[in-house]
Structure 1
Amino acid sequence: MYKRPNLEEFPEYTRSYIQLLPEGDIIDILGQHLETTSKVFSTVTVEQSGYRYAEGKWALSEVLGHLTDTERIMNYRILRIARGDKNTLQGFDENVYVKEASFHNRKIADILEDYQNVRRSTISLLKGLPQKSLQNKGNANGYDVTVESIAYMIAGHELHHLKIIQEKYIND
């Protein structure tokens, strides 16, 4: 069973993400986010997908692509650390990834399908991990993290971006 990680299990800069999360099973939370994020992005039009709320900010399609890319990388980290890999894992520059991905040239429905597939893969990976591996520690991007904390980072990071989308992009 997963539990909210202790402060020493994740980097300080991710604390605000993890604090956004309600109490509960992280696999259930990720499943709920799958539904919420899918609902939000399934109604985004072509015009809305290219909307940027300010100069230099990502378009909605890029935000969804960023969530997907980040989760893929986090899944890779979970797998390596859960399997006992002690090698330091490199960080990544999300701005370079977004630029190189050209999400703005893809259909939002295709990016959403990719996100959904990655999320289902995340849930499958987490369900299949042995309980003893959840507290395995590794180093990613220069910070010590546990397998369990990475799962919480994924969910908190997504919630962070969903809040920005509601405040800056969709404003219902």
Structure 2
Amino acid sequence: MTARIARDVIATLESDLPKLRALDEEHASAPRAPGKWSPKQVIGHLIDSAFNNEQRFVRAQLGPSLSFPGYAQDAWVATQAYEDRPWADLLALWSEVNRHLAHVIAHIEPRALGVLCTIGEGTPVTLRFIAEDYVRHLHHHLAQVLTPEKAAGRTHHPYA
């Protein structure tokens, strides 16, 4: 199961990274709409998501349950000023962090998939759910950048 999720992360990188690289700096810096994130900020958010989820995937294997803080995604994106980073640098970081995360996911111990995790004030969910939701979240936000007309109105789960 975790091998399938890891393959999906890698396949997503291989499919979408060339499309993302095709965006020029100007397009990557422009918000999709007033009050929305730019592609740079979306990729920055996905970097934050990967870093937060790496902690969850590792820590949930080290005990019988996990209680992990949520994170204020807008504040994280603003604080890190992703809009000021070169697009190519953000893509390189996003790609490498996700390659590592795919490796971590592939090596999650099967017994850990049922570990209950509470994130912020949310309802407890299994580590399996968090891993599967990570991929849904990744696809959701990449669609916002690459096919915004198709992504309009979609929502994602808050655990990513």
Q: TM-score, normalised by structure 2?
A: 0.84
What corresponds to 1:39 in structure 2?
A: 18
Gaps of 5+ in 1: 3-23
What corresponds to 1:154 in structure 2?
A: 134
Q: Offset of 1:162 from its aligned partner?
A: 1.9
What corresponds to 1:82 in structure 2?
A: 61
Residues 81, 146 of structure 1: 8 Å contact kept: no
TM-superposition CA deviations, 1:94-130 (whole Å, max 9, x none): 0001101111111111111111111111111112222
Aligned match for 2:99, one of 104, 107, 120? 120
Cα distance in 2, alignment partners of residues 68 and 77 from structure 1: 14
Residue 88 of structure 1 aligns to a residue whose secondary structure is strand
Cα distance in 2, alignment partners of residues 85 and 65 from structure 1: 31
Gaps of 5+ in 2: 150-160
Cα distance in 1, alignment partners of residues 78 and 68 from structure 2: 22
Q: TM-score, normalised by structure 1?
A: 0.79
Q: 1:149 to 1:87 in 2, by over 3 A?
A: closer
Residues 20, 146 of structure 2: 8 Å contact kept: no
Aligned match for 2:80, one of 78, 87, 101? 101
Matches within 5 A, 1:7-46: 25-46=4-25
Which amino acid in the other structure matches residue 127 of structure 1? Answer: A
Residues 41, 108 of structure 1: 8 Å contact kept: no
Cα distance in 1, alignment partners of residues 112 and 66 from structure 2: 16
Cα distance in 2, alignment partners of residues 76 and 85 from structure 1: 15
Which amino acid in the other structure matches residue 156 of structure 1? Answer: R
Residues 66, 116 of structure 2: 8 Å contact kept: no
Residue 118 of structure 2 aligns to a residue whose secondary structure is strand
TM-superposition CA deviations, 1:130-170 (whole Å, max 9, x none): 2111211121122312221111111100111122223338x
Cα distance in 1, alignment partners of residues 144 and 57 from structure 2: 26
Residue 58 of structure 1 aligns to a residue whose secondary structure is coil
Cα distance in 2, alignment partners of residues 146 and 152 from structure 1: 10
Q: Offset of 1:40 from its aligned partner?
A: 2.1
Residues 65, 115 of structure 2: 8 Å contact kept: no
Q: Which has the higher contact order (CA 8 A, sep 6+)?
A: 1
What corresponds to 1:72 in structure 2?
A: 51
Q: Note the aligned Cα RMSD (angstroms).
A: 1.8
Cα distance in 2, alignment partners of residues 163 and 131 from structure 1: 30
